[in-house]
Amino acid sequence: MFEDISPRDGSVVAEVARGSADDIDLAVRAARRAFDDGVWALADPRERKRVLLRWASLIDEHSEELAQLESADVGHPITDARNVDVPNARNCIAWYAEAIDKVYGEIAPTGADALALVGREPLGVVGAVIPWNYPLIITAWKLAPALATGNSVVLKPAEQSPLTALALAELAAEAGLPDGVLNVVPGFGEEAGEPLGRHPLVDKITFTGSVDVGRRFLRYAGESNGKAVSLELGGKSPHVVLADVEDLDRAVDAIGWGIFYNAGQTCHAGSRVVVERGLVAPLAERLTQFAREMVPGDPADPSTTLGALVSDEHLEGVLGRVERAAGDGARLLVGGARAEPVAGGAYMEATVLEALDPADPIVQEEVFGPVLAIQQADDAEHAIALANGTGYGLAAAVWSSNITTAHRVARRLRAGTVWINTFDASSLATPFGGVKDSGHGRDRSLHALDAYTHLKTTWVAL
Ligand code: NAP
Ligand code: MG
């Protein structure tokens, strides 16, 4: 067992089973059996749809419980857990349920003496390894398409945030998902994650987390059975703010929420602002004001917008990065310190700084906290170079009132998503993922079905 600590106040919220390699092996074998039986994989898609929709409605029925668990486990403000985390997870499951009986195969062009069918088939056993920042949402992004397409899944949540994945699995069983099709094994990365990554009966790993661990999964696959791996890794997403931005206040609002929502612990958080020189002062002033108004509060209080960071250890790391940035010559404009709205919790002030050297770690490395770095650009061309000047490529935004300029810049930003005059707008219908160090593979949309199926050709002689 291990203790699951709430970052709200440092208290122990649960004792959680500490999954071992043996537990992973049991879970994988159960998943394999269920898959080979065909009880789920070969079911009529309308049947899978029925079960998944029933699961979605059970999530609705238990929405308050799930929101409370998520908030206590990772420190999300309860209002966000209620309005964003739970409904997004639920909607994702319902979306793939609704889609799965409407996806057709193909007939390939052939001569008159043949019929060549191209259809999707599930891969088999999928191992899903999840980070702590959005446990409900990312779990749903993996489970919904993997299960809708007929796979069996073994899921390992992050050690900091196992509670809602376990609750979701209980509800899935209640919804009628057959035994063995979904298995959740909580535990630590080295003890449960690695054996899953190396298991010879796992056909696919879908991973969201850090670059370092993502690359380990490629290694595990290469050294075991060559299983498929998709990786959704971190980001250092830039806003490019051009001098002809139409509405600076609107940009400030989007930039502020884009970094301080979930205390900056978002893979695509807009953690950099690359701004044309003439606008630096007014933009920095407004962002500083925005950060001042973003006061850390008790996640259990419905009026809180900036909750806790996931753990004290993570908070210490974020504070250390800000301190090092100041040592590197960055100008701290606001924040930078620990806060204590609830005794014993892991809180930090919303922080804005101006970075002077694009090579500084505060510009190059993911902070995963409420820390925004402003970078000055000479012109649009320089802004593009600065925006693309990190190893990451998850998301970016352009702010300009000129539609031609905005599209020209957007086209040259290397990222899986580029927003124009907005930030963090998305839907289940749009794919999400990255390029470069941010990984490969896409969650959400019908394209995610590609990650959990292979194309089978059946050639018939006529
Ligand atoms: P992490 O340390 O990479 O952990 C992710 C998962 O991998 C956890 O379940 C973790 O287990 C497991 N793990 C850790 N070490 C492992 C190992 N040696 N072998 C196998 N599994 C291992 O990432 P995190 O700290 O949870 O999350 C933050 C990171 O995720 C950030 O870099 C963020 O940008 C990224 N992220 C990316 C996206 C995206 O879609 N691109 C979305 C969200 C987050 P334990 O925690 O139990 O050790
Ligand atoms: Mg926790």
Mean pLDDT per 10-residue interval, the chain, length 462 residues = 97 98 98 98 98 98 98 98 98 98 98 98 98 98 98 98 98 98 98 98 98 98 98 97 97 98 98 97 98 98 98 98 96 98 98 96 98 98 98 98 98 98 97 98 97 98 98
**CATH superfamily membership of 238-420:** Aldehyde Dehydrogenase; Chain A, domain 2 (3.40.309.10)
Q: Domain coordinates of the chain in residue numbers?
A: 2-232+436-461, 238-420
Q: CA–CA distance from 135 to each of 226, 228, 315 (Å)?
A: 27, 23, 18
Name the closest ligand to CA 7: 2
- Hey, what are 134's tokens? 């959005």
φ/ψ bin of 150: left (φ > 0), alpha (ψ from -120 to 50), beta (otherwise): left
Q: Check 70, 92, 159, 267 and give the catalytic one.
A: 267
Q: How far apart are CA 450 and CA 17, in angstroms?
A: 33
Q: Are 255 and 424 in contact (CB under 8 A)?
A: no
Residue 269, pLDDT score: 98
The verdict on the CB of residue 193 being under 6 Å from ligand 1 is: yes
Q: Report the pLDDT value the prediction gives residue 108, as an integer from 0 to 100.
A: 98
State residue 304's pLDDT score.
98
Residue nearest to atom 40 of ligand 1 (CA): 232
Cα–Cα–Cα angle for 13, 15, 19, nearest 5°?
Answer: 135
Instruction: State yes or no: is 267 an active-site residue.
Output: yes
Atom of ligand 1 nearest to the CA of 187: 47
Q: Under a CB-based contact definition with an 8 Å cutoff, are residues 373 and 330 in contact?
A: yes
Our answer to whether residue 232 is catalytic in this structure is yes
Q: Which of 191, 232, 276, 354 is catalytic?
A: 232
399 burial via Cβ count (<10 Å: 0-12, 13-18, 19+): buried
At residue 144, the pLDDT reads 98
Q: What is the pLDDT of residue 184?
A: 98
Q: Name the closest ligand to CA 267.
A: 1
Residue range 2-232+436-461 in CATH 3.40.605.10: yes
